[in-house]
Amino acid sequence: MSALTDDTLPMTPRAMRDEMIVFAVMAALLAVVPFTGIYPFFVMQALCFALLACAFNLLIGYGGLLSFGHAMFLGTAGYVSAHALKVWGLPPELGIVAGTAAAALLGLVTGFISIRRQGIYFSMITLALSQLLYFIYLQAPFTHGEDGIQGIPQGHLFGIFDLSKPTVLYYVVLVGFLAGFLLIYRTINSPFGEVLKSIRENEPRAISLGYKTDQYKMLAYILSGTLAGFAGSLKVFVAQNASLTDVHWSMSGEIVLMTLVGGLGTIFGPVVGAFVIIAMQQYLAGFGQWVTVIQGVIFVACVLLFRRGLVGELAHLLRRSL
Amino acid sequence: MQALYAQLLVGLINGSFYALLSLGLAVIFGMLNIINFAHGALYMMGAFVAYFLLNLGGINYWWALLIVPVIVGIFGMILERTMLQWLAGLDHLYGLLLTFGIALIVQGVFQNYFGSSGLPYSIPDQLKGGVNLGFMFLPVYRGWVVIFSLVVCLATWFLIEKTQLGAYLRAATENPTLVRAFGINVPRMITLTYGLGVGLAALAGVLSAPINQVRPLMGADLIIVVFAVVVIGGMGSIMGSIITGFALGVIEGLTKYFYPEASNTVVFVLMVVVLLVKPTGLTGRAA
């Protein structure tokens, strides 16, 4: 059985330098967005999904675990943050903390149930768990069912930054994204990340070397869920609502699609994938249901023709690690 | 009491669909090592093809029961030949992703042409009406669905567990290279197996058309419950899928009677409980 991601290059100083350069270019490009006339809300939304896809990629690309229920972290954190801001009246920073903490707790609970099964069973369990939560949120009073939580106050972050100003909000979201991205990058290149990769490549061997692989996978799962939740909390400030769409399983499918398009197990792939898919939804909105068909075609094309994804193919072509 | 029996019957009917669908998934998983995410979409196609046959070709329900699984089964075999076969030897997850894409395409196309609302498909004349069993009133069609799916399930079980063909199938699942060396065309067998699994889904679609309306998303929501059924059952055996399917349908029906708020979630809650006690599922083998 061939692994999900092939030809991962060893972590050489050159690879590290390449990645740093690309990161600097990415950060610089994103930083100038408010001065270019590009619609900032589009980029903010894409950034939230990019962080979400990166968090998801940490799990599948490096741990070999395909979670098909990652929308539950996005949705749960979104609901908790929204509730904390609107009903409890917490300041933005505590709202984000509350949402992210809820996602971490959810990761702990669902991880305990799902992590013991591998491969497609793991995928099906995460999918079923997220659907369980979907029905709970559909019926729970605090989520307001189909209406969702709307009109969320954005407030002042740390009492200073006025989040109702698009430019301020943009930079806050950007800083959040870059911080999450760097944390994932650091994790992947840590000894912990190396063990994770070895589990992906050959779990029985990792076990025989004495690693308690379940604990590593569990930690990766919780970290991934927490960061996905962080993305969900940020998204509340951008969208100013929290709704059932974010918990529905089709959202989990979209997260998978973003990562697959960009490249599973590549560092920058999920970011590119998220921007491509969000842009597609933005510009193809007029096609109605055909968007679903187009997404399906992209899925099929990615799996059959370019499994490495856009960034993965590019990295392969250039013989670089990206 | 009337309401309890009624919910039990609904549970048995849903159980029939769970059993037929998880059985098809198990058959496909056994040979192709693929979790067929497109199963729900193919179930929906079954219902739509029956609808077209009736309204465009004037072909009635009884012929549809026979023809629809063949038509959709052939569609499935084309999918296998053109796409799925290229995934042999790759990680299982690619099969899941590919079939998910196929499901999106099929569902999207149907949603485009038929929206989200349902199309009616009437119960065939011979199965209209009902019988009074003394303790409850049983609509004939519903009784028919339960009995017919049970027969189909057992026939499939017999085909795979008790016949020569089934023996080849099981052998090829264990060691395709060796079976191939005996002169058996394994790739063709894989294609036919996929066709069989898809045919079972389509058959469930025809059965469901007169009860639930014919809707583009009828399979999308069902398939996740079926996945939970599969996780609970463990997909280790053909019989396991059948029994788990029916049992969970009944449990769901009972929940609807005693505690309706939990009827949507009971299968998932059960899945959590089973996984905590027995991580491999009830009849499962290790993944």
Q: What is the pLDDT of residues A81-96, one digit of tens each?
A: 999 988 888 888 899 9
**CB < 8 Å to B230, chain A:** 124
3-class SS of residue B282: coil
DSSP state of A35: G
| pLDDT string in tens for chain B (287-residue length) | 778 888 888 899 999 999 999 999 988 988 888 889 999 999 999 999 999 999 898 888 899 999 999 999 999 999 999 999 888 878 888 898 999 999 999 999 999 888 888 888 888 887 887 888 777 788 888 889 999 999 999 999 999 889 988 888 888 888 888 888 888 888 888 999 999 999 999 999 999 999 888 999 899 889 999 998 988 888 778 888 899 999 999 999 999 889 888 888 898 889 888 888 887 777 765 44
pLDDT at B88: 81
Is-contact B235 B129, C-beta < 8 A? Answer: no
Q: Which A residues in the span 158-177 are in contact with B, Cβ-Cβ below 8 Å?
A: none
Round to whole Å and give the CA distance between A48 and A50: 5
CA nearest neighbour of A111 among B275, B231, B232, B234: B275
Tokens of A305: 């023709």
Q: List Cβ neighbours of B178 (8 Å cut-off, separation of 6 or more).
A: B171
Band (A11; pLDDT cuts 50, 70, 90): low
Q: What is the DSSP string of A271-308?
A: HHHHHHHHHHHHHTGGGTTHHHHHHHHHHHHHHHT-TT
C-alpha distance from A127 to closest chain B C-alpha (Å): 7
Q: Quick check: B277 contacting A, CB < 8 Å?
A: no
Q: List Cβ neighbours of A166 (8 Å cut-off, separation of 6 or more).
A: A34, A40, A41
Task: Name the β-bridge partners of A161.
Answer: A157
C-alpha distance from B269 to closest chain A C-alpha (Å): 7
Q: Quick check: A286 contacting B, CB < 8 Å?
A: no
Alpha helices for B33-82 (secondary structure H): 39-57, 61-82
Band (A6; pLDDT cuts 50, 70, 90): very low
Band (A185; pLDDT cuts 50, 70, 90): very high
Across the interface, whether the CB atoms of B91 and A116 are under 8 A apart is answered: no
Q: Are strands B130-132 and A161-162 parallel, antiparallel or unpaired?
A: unpaired
Across the interface, whether the CB atoms of B94 and A253 are under 8 A apart is answered: no
Interior angle at CA B162, CA B161 and CA B167, nearest 5: 70
A155-178 residues labelled b (16+ CB within 10 A) or e (exposed): bebeeebebeeeebbbbbbbebbb
For the cut 70, the answer to whether the pLDDT of residue A7 exceeds it is: no
Q: Among B109, B228, B268, select the one facing A293 at the smallest CB separation.
A: B109
What's the whole-number average pLDDT of chain A?
87
Q: Quick check: A300 contacting B, CB < 8 Å?
A: yes
Q: Among A121, A297, A304, select the one facing B231 at the smallest CB separation.
A: A121
pLDDT at A2: 42
**% of chain A at pLDDT higher than 90:** 39
Is-contact A180 A189, C-beta < 8 A? Answer: no
Q: List Cβ neighbours of B100 (8 Å cut-off, separation of 6 or more).
A: A253, A256, A299, B37, B38
Identify the H or E element spanning B137. Answer: strand B137-139
**CB < 8 Å to A64, chain B:** 91
Is-contact B34 B84, C-beta < 8 A? Answer: yes
Q: Quick check: A204 contacting B, CB < 8 Å?
A: no
Q: List Cβ neighbours of A271 (8 Å cut-off, separation of 6 or more).
A: A26, A50, A53, A54, A181, A262
Q: Which B residues in the span 187-206 are in contact with A, Cβ-Cβ below 8 Å?
A: none
pTM of structure: 0.89
Alpha carbon separation from B58 to A97, B61, B62, B110 (Å, rounded)? 62, 10, 12, 21
Across the interface, whether the CB atoms of B112 and A118 are under 8 A apart is answered: no
For the cut 70, the answer to whether the pLDDT of residue A177 exceeds it is: yes
Q: Quick check: A288 contacting B, CB < 8 Å?
A: yes
Q: Quick check: A296 contacting B, CB < 8 Å?
A: yes
Q: Is the ipTM of this complex over 0.90?
A: no
Task: Count CB-CB contacts under 10 A for residue A104.
Answer: 18
Q: Which A residues in the span 235-254 are in contact with B, Cβ-Cβ below 8 Å?
A: 249, 253
Across the interface, whether the CB atoms of A131 and B98 are under 8 A apart is answered: no
Alpha carbon separation from A159 to A36, A90, A94 (Å, rounded)? 28, 11, 11
A2 to chain B: closest CA residue: B90
Round to whole Å and give the CA distance between A59 and A5: 13
Across the interface, whether the CB atoms of A296 and B265 are under 8 A apart is answered: no
pLDDT at B286: 46
Round to whole Å and give the CA distance between A311 and A276: 12
Is-contact B46 B205, C-beta < 8 A? Answer: yes
Q: Which B residues in the span 128-157 are in contact with A, Cβ-Cβ below 8 Å?
A: none
Round to whole Å and give the CA distance between B17 and B201: 9
Handedness of CA B194, B199, B202, B204 (dihedral sign): negative
Identify the H or E element spanning B195. Answer: helix B186-208
A110 to chain B: closest CA residue: B272
Round to whole Å and give the CA distance between A13 and A238: 38
C-alpha distance from B219 to closest chain A C-alpha (Å): 13
C-alpha distance from B161 to closest chain A C-alpha (Å): 24
Tokens of A155: 């407030």
3-class SS of residue B19: helix
